[in-house]
Homo-oligomer: A and B are copies of this chain.
Amino acid sequence: MSAIDPAPNPARLEAQPLYVRARNVMVERLIEGHWRPGEMLPSEFALAAELGVSQGTMRKALDAMTTEGLLVRRQGRGTFVAEAEDNSILFRFYRLTPDGSSQSGAKPSFPESRYLSRIQDSASEQEREIFSLQSGDKVWRFERIRSNDEGPILWEQLVLPAKYFPDLTSETLLPNNVYQFYSTYYGIIVARVNEQLRAVTAPDKVADLLSLPQKSPLLEIDRRAIALDDRVVEWRRSLCRSDTMHYRNELK
């Protein structure tokens, strides 16, 4: 591959540091699926030579991608494309914790899912807006109950644009770790997640499903998962009991 144009003085506008441009090149390659999740990258020395930058600059780019959660580096082994299991990434996007466990450290057991429905349908107006879909585009909708050792803890509807996920059928059972599933089978790497939380009154149906009294207050989580290329690839709306669970957040 050709070296990055150093672009020292001309075109001063938009001038980015070399290590930022090196990072961007690498992210582009990840988006293109140049390396699969879990795959080992060339050494930083080889990449530096290829992009025409020094090893130190290449390292800075790779370190940035590591803190972004895109890569995992292991001393003596190499640099790897992050998988959804790495770094307890299972829990990177999972903030619900049973009340008993300690403030920050404890890893709760991951909840199992029971599916209530799996259907394909035309995207609603709201879904078209969320996913930037055309009218007529299809979406998959999954409705499920998730339970831990203590019993059911949340009801959830999960929506996926059909065109990003070919080969899904109404028989498909999403695995527990969906983000690993997206990356392994569709090369879709979830880079970040936007959540909006509110308190709502439980719909009768959901209260029954969770074995809670009617009108119980529930924590509503509206989540959009965003891929490396900034496409929204998943929308979910969860209604969680919060009498025995809470949503934890550490701000720094």
Tell me if A242 counts as interface (CB < 8 A to partner B).
yes
Give the number of residues in A that approach B within 8 Å (Cβ atoms): 35
Q: Are A194 and B250 in contact (CB under 8 A)?
A: yes
- Contact bitstring A188-218, B, C-beta under 8 A = 1, else 0: 0001111111111100000000000001011
Tell me if A252 counts as interface (CB < 8 A to partner B).
yes
Q: Are A246 and B192 in contact (CB under 8 A)?
A: no
Q: Are A249 and B249 in contact (CB under 8 A)?
A: yes
Number of copies: 2
- Contact bitstring A81-113, B, C-beta under 8 A = 1, else 0: 000000000001101000000011000000000
| A252 to B251 CA separation, bound complex (whole angstroms) | 13
Residues of chain B contacted by A242 (CB below 8 angstroms): 197-200
Residues of chain B contacted by A248 (CB below 8 angstroms): 194-197
Closest Cβ of chain B to A192, distance in Å, is 5
| A217 partner, pick from B95, B191, B217, B245, beta carbons under 8 A | B217
| A199 partner, pick from B103, B191, B192, B219, beta carbons under 8 A | B219
Q: A69-B252, A252-B68, A252-B69 are in contact. Are A247 and B193 (CB under 8 A)?
A: no
Q: Report A213-252 residues with CB < 8 Å from chain B CB.
A: 215, 217-220, 222, 224, 242-243, 245-252
Residues of chain B contacted by A215 (CB below 8 angstroms): 215
Residues of chain B contacted by A200 (CB below 8 angstroms): 199, 217, 242
Q: Are A104 and B250 in contact (CB under 8 A)?
A: no
| A197 to B196 CA separation, bound complex (whole angstroms) | 12
Q: Are B219 and A197 in contact (CB under 8 A)?
A: yes
Residues of chain B contacted by A199 (CB below 8 angstroms): 199-200, 217-220, 242
Residues of chain B contacted by A68 (CB below 8 angstroms): 252
Q: A69-B252, A201-B217, A252-B191 are in contact. Are A247 and B104 (CB under 8 A)?
A: no
| A246 to B191 CA separation, bound complex (whole angstroms) | 23
Q: A103-B194, A196-B246 are in contact. Are A251 and B201 (CB under 8 A)?
A: no
Residues of chain B contacted by A251 (CB below 8 angstroms): 92-93, 95, 192-193, 195
Closest Cβ of chain B to A153, distance in Å, is 12
| A68 to B92 CA separation, bound complex (whole angstroms) | 19
List the interface of chain A (C-beta within 8 A of B): 68-69, 92-93, 95, 103-104, 191-201, 215, 217-220, 222, 224, 242-243, 245-252
